[in-house]
Amino acid sequence: MGFIQKTLESVSLPKIVKVRRYFPEDALDNVEENTLERIRGTRGYKNLRPGQKIAVTAGSRAFANIVEVTRGTVRAIKETGAEPFIVPAMGSHGGATAAGQRALLAGIGVTEASVGAPIISSMAVDRIGDILNNRPIYLDRHANAADGIVLINRVKAHTSFRGKYESGLMKMMAIGLGKQKGAQFYHQSGIDFMAETVEAVGKAMVQLKNIVFGVGVVENSYGKIGILQALDCDEILEREPELLSRAKQYLPRLFCRNLDVLSVQSIGKNISGTGMDCNVIGRFYNPHITDVDVHITRIAALDLTAESHGNAVGAGFGDIITKRLFDKMIFEQTYPNALTSTAMELVRIPMILSTDKMVLRAAVKSSKVPNQNQVRMALIEHTKNMYSYFISEPLTAEAKQHNLEILSEPFEIPFDGDDRLTLDYGYAAAVR
């Protein structure tokens, strides 16, 4: 028996219970038809003309009902006789290649067959203008050649900066449609200037191009669409901050602010731009973000989602990862993000151990808690599921104070014959 195994064999893991947290369930029904109806009320829709070529953006984030929202948007444009096509608007994602970005869209369900419009994927850009200090504005070449551009994106708190506009329609114009060249150029000035850059580029884009309308989506705390608005070009600047405020109210977090150990079953770009949402784990590569009061001593990451296509950005926020996760990492998918954003912290390689059990034991051992049975530990599916997860016994009293429902009696953390964690994170039924 080697030193590592011998050292970790003696570490005891705490018993856990399953908990359920309740949030408002104000989800939008009939998403495709609601999208269509809202778009019909915009001036941009009414100004569309037969034969116009309209570029419709699609990002790499798999927000709720992205296919239905995109299909409803395509249907609305076609009603006018205009001709929509889909443009991947995702900066350097997909390995910064046209084929990779097309594959990312297919991975989240956005294909020509599913949304009813062709996908034109290219990394070519045109310089269409300048902003502060003669800094260039880049735009996807096919979108630039179109008669108009329609924006679709989820509005949410960004994981790396704070500002009037964070993740949303404005950022899609700056970073997403700028492709790798634009994203790289804007990141070179540093994350501290990103809010200023997103606002400046977005405002310039609205002035320089025919932004027909934008569809802004806000997910509720269960990851379903809570708000969907179709905004005319001149409404985006004024109303996106309102959507961002609502998104921050919806943002689900752990009920406790201090943890010794957090186990994250899966990280991935489809979960968050940083693999796991920094607003949940309290770790940021931007040191100036201080509005999230979460302190976690050790973070263990166990797996990488298939939808990430090998992009393991965010692994660097973990302290310990499994060999399984590491083996799924594809450098050609992971490193373009870091090189473009200059956020090298996101792709640092933590300690790698062979099994889930060893990873959890190492996290507990290094958590600096003298009595391992008193470890404050949470085990989550990923950072988008903050409504159904597991906590160690010492946290149960605090959970009850926050009105969480305890769904099970305390039980030993379960592993299969390969020491892989076997937990059911679904909320419909208790563990046993």
The secondary structure of the chain in percent helix, strand, coil, rounded to multiples of 5, reads: 40, 20, 40
**Confidence band for 370, pLDDT divided at 50, 70 and 90:** confident
According to DSSP, the residues that pair with 86 across neighbouring strands are 56, 119
**Confidence band for 373, pLDDT divided at 50, 70 and 90:** confident
What pLDDT is attached to residue 429?
Answer: 36
- Please give the full DSSP string across 60-85, using - where no structure is assigned: S---TTHHHHHHHHHHHHHHTT-EEE
* Percent of the chain scoring above 70 in pLDDT: 97
**Burial of residue 215 (number of CB atoms within 10 Å: 0-12, 13-18, 19+):** buried
Residue with tokens 């296509």: 309
What pLDDT is attached to residue 187?
Answer: 67
- Contact residues for 227 (Cβ-Cβ < 8 A; gap 6+): 28, 216, 217, 218, 243, 246
* Mean pLDDT calculated for residue range 336-345: 80
Instruction: Name the class of domain 31-250.
Output: alpha beta
What pLDDT is attached to residue 432?
Answer: 27
Helix/strand/coil for 10: coil
DSSP conformation class of 115: H
All CATH 3.40.50.11440 domain ranges of the chain, comma separated, are 31-250
Tens-digit pLDDT profile for residues 178-207:
888 877 777 666 666 788 888 888 899 999
Is the per-residue pLDDT at 263 higher than 90? yes
**Confidence band for 167, pLDDT divided at 50, 70 and 90:** confident
**What is the token pair recorded at 44?**
């941009």
Q: Which residues of 313-324 are buried (b: 16+ CB within 10 A; e: fewer)?
A: bbbbbbbbbbeb
Tens-digit pLDDT profile for residues 140-164:
999 999 999 999 999 988 877 788 9
Given CA atoms 111, 117, 121, 127 in this order, what sign does their dihedral have? negative
What pLDDT is attached to residue 308?
Answer: 87
Name the H helices within 41-140. 43-46, 66-79, 98-107, 112-115
Residue 263: half-sphere exposure toward Cβ, Cα within 13 Å: 30
Is the per-residue pLDDT at 252 higher than 90? no
Tens-digit pLDDT profile for residues 45-96:
999 999 999 999 998 778 889 999 999 999 999 999 999 999 999 888 788 8
* Mean pLDDT calculated for residue range 223-248: 94
Q: Comparing C-alpha atoms, which of 126, 34, 103 is closest to residue 311?
A: 103
Is the per-residue pLDDT at 431 higher than 50? no
**What is the token pair recorded at 199?**
């606002």
Counting runs of H as helices and runs of E as strands, what totals does the chain give? 16, 15
- Please give the full DSSP string across 146-175, using - where no structure is assigned: SSEEEEEEE-B--SS--SSS-BSHHHIIII
- Do 38 and 230 form a contact (C-beta atoms < 8 A)? yes
According to DSSP, the residues that pair with 18 across neighbouring strands are 390
- Contact residues for 255 (Cβ-Cβ < 8 A; gap 6+): 21, 398, 399, 402, 404
**Confidence band for 430, pLDDT divided at 50, 70 and 90:** very low
Tens-digit pLDDT profile for residues 89-144:
988 878 889 999 999 899 889 999 999 999 999 999 999 988 877 788 999 999 99
Is the per-residue pLDDT at 319 higher than 70? yes
Is the per-residue pLDDT at 331 higher than 80? yes
- Kindly state the helix (H) or strand (E) to which residue 396 belongs, with its residue range: helix 396-401
* Mean pLDDT calculated for residue range 24-40: 94
**What is the token pair recorded at 421?**
């964690």
- Contact residues for 217 (Cβ-Cβ < 8 A; gap 6+): 63, 64, 69, 152, 153, 154, 155, 225, 227, 228
- Please give the full DSSP string across 342-367, using - where no structure is assigned: --GGGG---EEESSHHHHHHHHHHTT
Per the prediction, the chain carries an average pLDDT of 91
How far apart, in whole angstroms, are the C-alpha atoms of residue 17 and residue 40?
Answer: 49
The side-by-side arrangement of strands in the sheet containing 16-20 is 351-353, 320-322, 295-301, 258-264, 377-380, 388-392, 16-20, 405-406
Strand ranges inside 276-331, DSSP E: 295-301, 320-322
Is the per-residue pLDDT at 313 higher than 70? yes
Is the per-residue pLDDT at 287 higher than 80? no
**Confidence band for 428, pLDDT divided at 50, 70 and 90:** very low
Count of CB atoms situated within 10 Å of the CB of 243:
23
